[in-house]
Amino acid sequence: MKLTWLYRSFKTDLDLIEQELERAVSSNSELVNNASHQLLKAGGKRIRPVFVLLSAKFGEYRIDRIKNIALALELIHTASLVHDDVIDEADMRRGLPTINYLWDDRVAMYTGDYILARSLEYMTNITDPLAHKVLSRAIVELVTGEIDQIKDKYRFDQTLRDYLRRIKRKTALLIAVSCELGAIAGQTPPDIYKRLYKFGYFIGMSYQITDDILDFVSTEEELGKPAGDDLRQGNITLPALYAMRYPLVKAEIEKVNRDTGKDVMSKIIQQIIETGAIEQSHQLSRRYLDKALAVLEELPDSRAKKPLKEIANYIGKRKY
């Protein structure tokens, strides 16, 4: 589902960004063109552009300046998704078949490369050197996060800290940077954009933890892929980490591999739920959300505060 109901007042600007995204991923290679548009469709809620626009409202809102940052960020995110799906050997994303499934890993690799390259083109339209530094650093962290994810696959002895650092790099940082750069594009003073960075970071952490919970507790229909798929792919997320504090449950979880069937998986999910790990994960997600809301309170009054709060609360409550 899209978050458009939250920000009617941004409809024109979000539509503009959507059209520009379509144009950005177009290619004279039919293959890449089809793959990119497929990917854009599956790309989801456009929360990064939304955060850019809302954060810019704390300063001087000029869509021509903000647009390039929103586009660059959404394209970076989209490029990372397609490479992610290769790493995870994912067949489905949000109910749609992945590029690597519809074509193959190599097409997915090159489609991702192409979209990343297009995002760099939008970056060149950004004149602020600070914005460049922030964006490049975010790309390095994003890729490092992916590499960590590969390293940590099926590594059942990882710590909570490993997990948190991974989701920071994988998700929270790009959302933090969306908020920060929106504010920078709006030419707010440093104390504003630094706070918005923090807000985005906390929201991003909460968001990813919720995502990781939903992978266990949603239905296949809601997820567009089987429940427990993260664990099957070797991605050890928060509910599994909490549940593994119980040696018997840990022993079961450690047996999981790519060939684990649905019946076995639903038994393991049941065991995880019974440890209270889902509830504990919700609590940590909620703690990050409360921190985000606290940071938001400290920010000066702006028309953007209410929708940001609504998004935060939506993230806390979303079911899929």
How far is Cα 253 from Cα 231, in angstroms, rounded to an integer? 8
H helical segments located in 152-261 = 160-167, 173-185, 190-217, 220-223, 229-232, 238-243, 247-253
- Residue from 86, 99, 192, 315 touching a copy of itself (CB under 8 A): that is 86
Name which of residues 194 to 223 contact a copy of itself (CB under 8 A): none
Question: Per CB under 8 A, which region of 118-126, 214-222, 248-256, 281-289 contacts a copy of itself?
Answer: 118-126
Rg (CA), the chain: 19
241 in contact with a copy of itself (CB under 8 A): no
How far is Cα 115 from Cα 227, in angstroms, rounded to an integer? 29
**Tokens 């427990």 — which residue?**
228
How far is Cα 103 from Cα 133, in angstroms, rounded to an integer? 35
Name which of residues 15 to 44 contact a copy of itself (CB under 8 A): 27, 29, 31-32
251 in contact with a copy of itself (CB under 8 A): no
Pick from 88, 228, 211: which is nearest to 146 by CA? 88
How far apart are CB 179 and a copy of itself at their closest, in Å? 20
- Residue from 18, 91, 148, 252 touching a copy of itself (CB under 8 A): that is 148
Pick from 59, 76, 77, 61: which is nearest to 13 by CA? 61
Q: Per-residue contact track with a copy of itself, 253 to 292, x per CB under 8 A?
A: ----------------------------------------
Interaction site with a copy of itself (CB under 8 A): 27, 29, 31-32, 83, 86-87, 105-107, 109-110, 113-114, 116-118, 120-121, 123-124, 127, 129, 132-133, 136-137, 139-140, 142-144, 146-148, 150-151
